[in-house]
Amino acid sequence: MSLALLDTTHTDDKTGVGALISEAVIGPRDGAGKTVVVAMSGGVDSAVTALVMRERGYRVVGMNLRLFSPADPVHAVNPCCGIPAMDDARATCATIGVPFYAINMEAEFGEAVVERFVDEYAAGRTPNPCLECNRHVKFRHLVHRARLLGADCLATGHYARIVPGDDALGEPHRLFRAVDGRKDQSYVLHTMNQDQLGFVRFPLGNLTKPQVRALARHFDLPVADKEESQEICFVGKGSYAAFVAARRPEVNRPGEVVAEDGAVLGVHRGLVHHTVGQRRGIGIAGPEPLYVLALDQAANRLTVGPRARATARAVGADGVAMTGGMRPSGAFDCDAVVRYRGAPTPATVSLGSPGSGEASVAFHGEGPIASPGQAIVFYRGDEVLGGGTIRAVERAPAS
């Protein structure tokens, strides 16, 4: 296959690739005279992102972020963070004929993502490291570096859609779910502000994963059939509990497992192995499944109970921001999501005083199983309205 881009006017394109890189799918060919930095992870999504942005006419600069160096010399724990990933990103850039740069951002990643992850789990909360990486590394530090290079925009391989607004008319940029619901990543992108939404491009938002693979194969990209990494990038194939315990040994202290009335049911092997809402792995048999209701760090005690007590009636959140940049004048109804690709739950959101970043969220009917530390994201249809971090969970009263 020639490395020249496909002529989309060719009517004998039996692969359907021509339709996949039409303006209706990938966006307008508006890149003439413009430069885009593409975040290159070494995977197929970022590879096709670079290809698509080149098709749109941009001068593409591929940039691989070295975020975390695995301790094993051959980077087998999780190769997405090591030298193999960087080599794959470089090979993709060579294939499509664009420059490639590797940037060391381990310090930024370590402070904003790894240390926070460890601290939050050690405190009994459930963090989302991908969300923090997007918030602090990709869409803060990387956007800054792209602008220093004189780039007109930054493109990433995230599955989400941005509908640009008109600054002159006061129309906000808006964030939506991706067309491919199985790959949608809007949940971990809800912290993006208006400046970032105006600068960032998500060219895969209208494509499905199989279509992305088809484009990669059609253009002979070296990562077309590369397996996806499903693990937390810096944890790899090990357990998050072992990762945290290696840095906070005290989290592995055994302690009591108790019912809500204080009755001792058994022994846990360390609170770090449990999260609020967890059902499997508690190690206590009973007439009905038990769920983790609370982690008491001071007493090193795990409280468990039935599902009816595990679901949330309401949550309190902080760090709340509205993606559109406008604060609603009063309470508003939405669909709330409390975990990555979790089911939407109808809810009413009441924001705290201006500038506080606080909100209370009351669920309609049975709420989700929610844990402090998780993100709660507000949707209206496919549009992301905003979100924050759960700090307190109100459960239904015990019967």
CATH number at residue 356: 2.40.30.10
pLDDT band for position 7 (cuts 50, 70, 90): very low
Among 218, 243, 267, the domain boundary falls at 218
Q: What is the pLDDT of residue 155?
A: 98
Q: What is the pLDDT of residue 12?
A: 37
Q: What is the pLDDT of residue 397?
A: 74
287 and 151: one domain?
A: no
| Neighbour count for residue 92 (Cβ, 10 Å) | 30
Per-residue model confidence as pLDDT tens digits over 273-290 = 998 888 888 888 778 889
Residue 230 has pLDDT above 70, yes or no: no
The chain-wide mean pLDDT, for the chain, equals: 88
Beta strands in the chain (DSSP E): 35-39, 59-66, 100-104, 153-155, 160-163, 174-177, 200-201, 255-258, 264-268, 291-296, 301-305, 312-322, 332-337, 345-351, 359-363, 375-380, 383-395
> What CATH number does residue 300 fall under?
2.30.30.280
Q: Is residue 247 assigned to a domain?
A: no
207 and 349: one domain?
A: no
Residue 1 has pLDDT above 50, yes or no: no
Q: Are strands 100-104 and 153-155 parallel, antiparallel or unpaired?
A: unpaired
Q: Are strands 200-201 and 153-155 parallel, antiparallel or unpaired?
A: parallel
Which residue(s) pair with 308 in the sheet?
none
125 and 264: one domain?
A: no
Q: What is the pLDDT of residue 3?
A: 39
Q: What is the pLDDT of residue 353?
A: 93
Per-residue model confidence as pLDDT tens digits over 231-263 = 677 777 778 888 898 888 888 899 999 999 999
Alpha-carbon torsion, ordered 245, 249, 254, 258, to 10 deg: -70
137 and 272: one domain?
A: no
288 and 386: one domain?
A: no
**Residue 29 and residue 335: Cα distance in Å, rounded?**
35
Which residues are catalytically annotated? Answer: 133, 233
Split into its structural domains, the chain has a count of: 3
Mean pLDDT along residues 363-374: 92
**Residue 291 and residue 275: Cα distance in Å, rounded?**
9
pLDDT band for position 347 (cuts 50, 70, 90): very high
The token pair at 218 is: 């059609």
Domain that holds residue 281: 253-306
Per-residue model confidence as pLDDT tens digits over 57-77 = 999 999 998 887 766 555 555
Residue 37 has pLDDT above 70, yes or no: yes
Q: What is the pLDDT of residue 284?
A: 84
Per-residue model confidence as pLDDT tens digits over 101-148 = 998 888 888 889 999 999 998 888 888 888 898 888 899 989 999 999
Q: What is the pLDDT of residue 313?
A: 94
Among 172, 191, 218, the domain boundary falls at 218
pLDDT band for position 29 (cuts 50, 70, 90): very high
pTM of the model: 0.89
